[in-house]
Amino acid sequence: MSSQQSTSVAQLPAAERTVRQRWGKALFFALTFCSAVVLAMAGWSTLSAHRALQGVPTSPPLPPSIFFPHAVAAGDVTQTSAVLWTRNTTVSAIITFSYGVDSTNMTIVTRTVTDPLRPITVTASGLLPGTQYSYNVRAAGTTAVIGTFRTAAAVGTKTGLRFGASQNHRHQN
């Protein structure tokens, strides 16, 4: 058959008609399945659509999860103090910093996020020289992000030299 002739499905031989009908059904089911997957990934379901059409209120969306895009860090460590910091992207989130030598005697400090573009800092003071401290930072509904640091040795104590280097592997400022 040339491409210029138009032939209805009823005029085709029975074998070719059956093949076209099978391919048509397969294509229909494949497209239906793909559409269902895309809609499910987008959070849409037939139940929520039915409720929306019936005027039944759907459940409110979940609040965005509190996110620490730069994890946590300790810096400006001296013999008796250290600055702990993180950044949080949720305005008005309450951030809890906990630090101490062990998990049974932690000092707890809270801060409220006022600007998601600025880091939240806590100065841990009254620390002991040459001591390993652990700290964690958490917000409501999140698991703690954990870190450690060691204060500088006491004056006159020789502990050797340690040198560290870091790199921004994502090439971000």
Domain segments of the chain as ranges: 12-54, 72-150
Q: What is the mean pLDDT of the chain?
A: 74
Q: What does the pLDDT average to over 57-73? A: 56
What pLDDT was estimated at residue 123? 95
3 state DSSP class of 166: coil
Is the model's pLDDT at 13 over the cut of 50? yes
Is the model's pLDDT at 88 over the cut of 90? no
What pLDDT was estimated at residue 25? 72
Radius of gyration for the alpha carbons in the chain, expressed in angstroms and rounded: 31
Is the model's pLDDT at 111 over the cut of 70? yes
- The backbone torsions φ and ψ at residue 32, rounded to the nearest 5 degrees and listed phi first, read -65, -45
Q: What does the pLDDT average to over 75-104? A: 88
What pLDDT was estimated at residue 64? 35
Give the amino acid at 112.
Answer: T
Q: Which of 144, 134, 119, 117 is nearest to 82 (CA)?
A: 134
Could you tell me the pTM of the whole model?
A: 0.54
CATH code for 72-150?
2.60.40.380
Residue reference for tokens 């790199």: 167
Q: Which residues contact 82 (CB under 8 A, 6 or more apart)?
A: 74, 75, 76, 123, 124, 127, 133, 149, 151
